[in-house]
Amino acid sequence: MKRRSLALRFVALFYVAVLVGAPLVLVFQRAFSPGLDSVWHSLTASDTASAIRLTLVVAAITLPLNVIFGVGASLLIVRHPSKFSRLLDTLIDVPLAISPIIIGLALELAYASNGVFGRALAHLGWQIIFSWPGIVLASAAVSLPLVSREMVPLLREIGDSQEQTAATLGAKPARIFFTITLRSVAWAAAYGATLTLARIIGEYGAVLIVSGNITNKTQTLTLDIASNFENFATQQGFAGAALLAMISIGVLIVLSLAKQRERKNYEYHD
Amino acid sequence: MSITIEKVSKSFGRDEVLRSLSLEIPTGSFTALLGPSGSGKSTLLRLIAGLTKVDSGRIWLNGVDVTDVPVRERQIGFCFQNYAPFRHLTVEKNIAYGLKVQRRGRREIASKVEELLSLVQLSDFATRYPHQLSGGQAQRMALARALAIEPRVLLLDEPFAALDAQVRGEVRTWVRKLQHDLGITTILVTHDQQEAMEVADKLVLLNKGTIEQVGPPSQMYDEPATDFVRSFLGPLTTFDGVSIRPHELELVPESASSGQVVTITDVVRLGFEVRVVVDDGADGFTWVQLTHDEALLGNYAPGQRVRLRIRRESHA
Amino acid sequence: MGWLGSSLLVTYMSLVILIPVIALVGHAFTGGLPAFWDAITQTEALDAIRLTVLVAFATAFINAIAGTAIAWVLVHDRFIGKSLLNSIIDLPFALPTVVAGITLVTLYGPYSPVHINVANSWVGIMVALLFVTLPFNVRAVQPVLESMDFSAEEAASTLGSRPLRTFIYVTLPTLVPSILSGMGLAFARAIGEFGSVVFISGNEPFHTEVASSYIFALSQDGELNSAAAVSVFLLVFALVVLGVFGFLSRRISQRIQ
Ligand SMILES: Nc1ncnc2c1ncn2[C@@H]1O[C@H](COP(=O)(O)OP(=O)(O)OP(=O)(O)O)[C@@H](O)[C@H]1O
Ligand SMILES: [Mg+2]
């Protein structure tokens, strides 16, 4: 028994090391082996700097939109059942089952200036595809369910008796929302928001299609990394990749903290 | 504060939960709302609180029609079965919630909270979070939170259901005393008839969305209006084809002049009471409730033949 | 929540996902069923779909075994660094696919520092898919193992069963539903995967081109209707597979109880 479980431990460790550990080490090794100066140069080169800027702008627009949407949708689904909420409930998880490439393609078909919807928008002078609004739409689509997936089960589990008690104590709906509902799902919402942010920053396929991949213009950091890598600016590509890898590690840390806090707050006595 | 319910009906979809129900609850009374599961007790309580809207009928508090007044303006203290503690707030902040909503001054809130904490005996637990409390403590916190807004009416939905028998008895006595001291009109939902008879000065028995009987506990026990009330409020057995309370029967020696001859099949001791099951050969099994002393005197054992008859005292 | 709030939510979701999906389906069938059929039965399309499905299946299968073993180690074993192992499992969830893609091809491609070259082959594609789907398999099984009632397992081992037999006959059957649902998620993800695969696969039509790369190539060539047709096929396929795995997992867990 002992020997066999020891063997299993090493198989598991080896598998994870080869598949996940080694790539992680390699990213940092490739990025940092030429020295910090070189990393700095790579990240401040005009294309990468502009890609980072665009990524931040897209995240700054998309994250709040999707968090507000996710919180609102969860409340509608759990607390206000109706035709609307059932529609939301069925459609909201769809993006998780679709390839990002297909999401990108679908957005292009809908919003390109020769597309169904895009033509009307083009008449108004709004360019969606091959421009930043398209990137925002793509990021929003791929990360759409991430907040509500965390919140819906928690809201169901908590039930609405706390909210109703607050109402008997004289609180108005807005006050109940901010002091009870939001407070009791805050960590789940934070968890979902962190996942959303990670997904927005890291999205590649969907953004590749809708952005047109124009250097210095519509390239996000992931696109910039890919094109540097393909154009033999490997060093620069890995500098960006290391930046994203560090963000991912940060995300994982935040997620595990949020999980811990959530557990602590909602442990029931019985 | 009196409560008047006038021809209130409520359906969920095609499910008619309350049917044109009328009820009068006098100021300062402690009423127990009793009935089988699904009879509409919680629904009635929620309608009084305003947590659910009536389909038709009116509800009056102290002569004022509150049917269309929202929950938050009814000033009703409500306790859920699961206590619904605000899990992210400490005990004192839970209690202070309603006072903050009323925009009371900080000093006033602090002193009021302190007063309530000592009233519900939680002064040492002020800074704990709900998950650090026992069931009984959480229950008392929920009561204090409801009492903080000086409610005109206190509505308790199965407040003791989650407590074990021992704690349950303690909290029950304590709530009874608290209600008595504060004189606040209280309605308590329960499906435990013993609990209802113990704490309340008035019982309301609901069945399938209508009221079976209303009255003081002793009256309802002794003079049940229907068979349903009779069977709900205490144990029943059958003797000579009629239902009867098992303590209204007695056993006498086979040599006695009156009574039906039966065979004892089982003797069960339940603390001070003893339950003797007998077989009359024809109707089937009947059981008799005796006191410990009576059982000792008769020295009953299975297989023994005795006579069963209606107690003399209950005739007198 | 007001009527205004609900309509804003539905509008947002329509803009972001509903209208695009409708446009996609519309384009897939603009030429009618024959055109749709034509698009998905092109040799290049069929090859890409076949490759994707086969490799995705192999991936789901291998990771079902590896993921279950890893979950078992995480739950039952004790050693220094276990919590590191536990946290690194989630990395593929958080790491952008493009980072995984360029890293895997650097590590296991023609310039491999460890002299393993699986680039431009289905093995390379599988390595990328194994990487991105590992967390699905581990995290589906782990909580079930954690909450499992070990009295049955312990009873079996005191009765003299060998540990391996105990695992196969006692533990494994109760794990099957969660293993299946993990496989379903992994498979659906693998079928649509793009970023982590394109760099190591080489994208050679008929040989190492996966379905999502094929769709991308079509869209770059302006063959939007064909791209939409293959997309719709792939999408329906993924939903069906998810449904089948979910159904199997529910059925089996019902039978166990
Ligand atoms: N929100 C609701 N939607 C639909 N049906 C409901 C709702 N609330 C209650 N009901 C139904 O109304 C009936 C009465 O429910 P209620 O909760 O009032 O019963 P109760 O007497 O409190 O029972 P218990 O003792 O089990 O708590 C039940 O049949 C229940 O299914
Ligand atoms: Mg009830």
Give the tokens for residue A108.
């292009």
The model's pLDDT over B111-147, given as tens digits with 9 standing for 90+, comes to: 999 999 998 889 999 999 999 998 889 989 999 999 9
Which among A161, A172, A184 has the least Cβ separation from residue B72? A172
Find residues 11-30 of chain C whose CB sits inside 8 Å of chain A: 12-13, 15-24, 26-27
A134 and A18 in one domain? Answer: no
Q: Which domain holds residue C79?
A: 32-256
The model's pLDDT over B211-266, given as tens digits with 9 standing for 90+, comes to: 999 999 888 888 888 888 888 887 888 887 778 888 888 888 888 888 888 888 88
How much distance in Å is there from the Cα of B116 to the middle of ligand 2? 27
Considering its fold, how many domains does chain A have in total?
Answer: 2
Q: Note whether A198 and A34 are within 8 A (CB).
A: no
What CATH number did the domain enclosing A136 receive? 1.10.3720.10
pLDDT tier at C81, thresholds 50, 70, 90: confident
Q: Do chains C and B touch (3 or more CB pairs under 8 A)?
A: no
Is A104 domain-assigned?
A: yes
Residue entry with tokens 């006191």: B291
How many Cβ pairs within 8 Å bridge chains A and B?
Answer: 80
A149 and A76 in one domain? Answer: yes
The model's pLDDT over C87-103, given as tens digits with 9 standing for 90+, comes to: 899 999 999 999 999 99
A11 touches chain C (CB under 8 A): yes
Is A56 domain-assigned?
A: yes
Nearest to B148 by CA among A268, A158, A165: A165
C76 and C18 in one domain? Answer: no
C102 and C42 in one domain? Answer: yes
A156 and A51 in one domain? Answer: yes
Distance CA A142, CA C206 (A): 29
| Residue C163: per-residue pLDDT | 67
How much distance in Å is there from the Cα of B157 to the middle of ligand 1? 12
Residue B244 is classified by DSSP as E
The model's pLDDT over C131-165, given as tens digits with 9 standing for 90+, comes to: 999 999 999 999 988 887 665 566 656 666 666 77
Q: What share of chain B is helix, strand, coil (3-state, %, to 5)?
A: 35, 35, 35
Sheet holding B260-270, edge to edge: B249-253, B305-310, B260-270, B273-279, B285-291
A59 and A21 in one domain? Answer: no
A57 and A12 in one domain? Answer: no
Is A87 domain-assigned?
A: yes
Give me the helices (H) in chain A, please: 2-16, 22-32, 36-44, 46-79, 83-91, 94-97, 100-111, 118-123, 132-142, 146-158, 161-168, 173-176, 182-202, 205-211, 221-230, 234-266
A260 and A199 in one domain? Answer: yes
User: B77 pairs with which residues across the strands?
Assistant: B154
C220 and C181 in one domain? Answer: yes
Q: Tell me which residues have their CB closer than 6 angstroms to ligand 1.
A: B 12, 15, 17, 35, 37-43, 191
Atom 22 of ligand 1, residue of closest alpha carbon: B42
A78 and A11 in one domain? Answer: no
C130 and C5 in one domain? Answer: no
Distance CA B8, CA C164 (A): 66
Per-residue pLDDT of chain A (270 residues; tens, 9 = 90+): 455 678 889 999 999 999 999 999 999 999 999 999 999 999 999 999 999 999 999 999 999 999 999 999 999 999 988 887 888 888 888 888 899 999 999 999 999 888 778 888 888 888 888 889 999 999 999 999 999 999 999 999 889 999 999 999 999 999 999 999 999 899 899 999 999 999 999 999 999 999 988 888 899 999 999 999 999 999 999 999 999 999 999 999 999 888 887 776 655 433
Nearest to C89 by CA among A198, A13, A146: A13
Atom 17 of ligand 1, residue of closest alpha carbon: B42
Q: Which domain holds residue A101?
A: 46-269
Query: Given phi > 0 = left and psi -120 to 50 = alpha, else beta, which region is C211?
Result: alpha
Which string of b and e fits C149-188 if b means at least 16 CB within 10 Å?
eeeebeebbeeebeeeebbeebbeebbbbbbbbbbbbbbb
Amino acid letter, residue B65? D
State the angle between helix axes of B106-119 and B135-148 in degrees (0 to 180), rounded to the nearest 10. 140
**Element (DSSP H or E) covering residue B219:** helix B217-222
A70 and A19 in one domain? Answer: no
Mutation to test the B interface, candidates A79, A165, A184, most B Cβ within 10 Å:
A165
Which are the contacts of A18, defined by CB distance < 8 A and separation ≥ 6?
none
Residues of A within 8 A of C134 (CB-CB) are 16, 19-20
Integer-rounded Cα radius of gyration of chain C? 22
Find residues 168-187 of chain A whose CB sits inside 8 Å of chain C: none
Integer-rounded Cα radius of gyration of chain A? 22
pTM of the predicted structure, to 2 decimals? 0.85
User: B211 pairs with which residues across the strands?
Assistant: B206
If you measure CA to CA, which chain A residue comes closest to C191? A99
C124 and C45 in one domain? Answer: yes
User: B261 pairs with which residues across the strands?
Assistant: B307
Residue C161 is classified by DSSP as -
What CATH number did the domain enclosing C88 receive? 1.10.3720.10
Considering its fold, how many domains does chain C have in total?
Answer: 2
| Residue A7: per-residue pLDDT | 87
Residue C109 is classified by DSSP as S
Which among C16, C94, C212 has the least Cβ separation from residue A140? C16
Distance CA B206, CA B213 (A): 8
C87 and C7 in one domain? Answer: no
Which chains reach chain C with 3 or more Cβ–Cβ distances below 8 angstroms? A
Give CA separation, C104 vs A241, B162, B198, B252, in Å.
12, 56, 74, 94
How much distance in Å is there from the Cα of A107 to the middle of ligand 2? 50
The bridge status of strand B76-79 relative to strand B64-65 is unpaired
Phi/psi of residue C58, each to 5°?
-55, -45
User: Does the structure show a pLDDT above 80 at C203?
Assistant: yes
Is A38 domain-assigned?
A: no
| Residue C173: per-residue pLDDT | 84
C229 and C178 in one domain? Answer: yes
C102 and C4 in one domain? Answer: no
A231 and A124 in one domain? Answer: yes
Distance CA A67, CA A62 (A): 8
Residue A233 is classified by DSSP as -
A85 and A20 in one domain? Answer: no
| Residue B278: per-residue pLDDT | 86
Answer yes or no: do A165 and B78 touch at CB < 8 A. Answer: yes
A24 and A102 in one domain? Answer: no
Find residues 82-111 of chain A whose CB sits inside 8 Å of chain C: 82, 84-85, 87-88, 91-92, 94-95, 97-111
Is A41 domain-assigned?
A: no
Is A169 domain-assigned?
A: yes
For A233, other C-beta atoms within 10 Å of its C-beta total: 18
C24 and C133 in one domain? Answer: no
C147 and C23 in one domain? Answer: no
Nearest atom in ligand 1 to B158's CA: 27
C57 and C7 in one domain? Answer: no
How much distance in Å is there from the Cα of B157 to the middle of ligand 2? 7
C123 and C9 in one domain? Answer: no
How many degrees, rounded to 5, is the angle at CA B280 between CA B277 and CA B284?
A: 75
A141 and A194 in one domain? Answer: yes
How much distance in Å is there from the Cα of C101 to the middle of ligand 1? 56
| Residue C58: per-residue pLDDT | 96
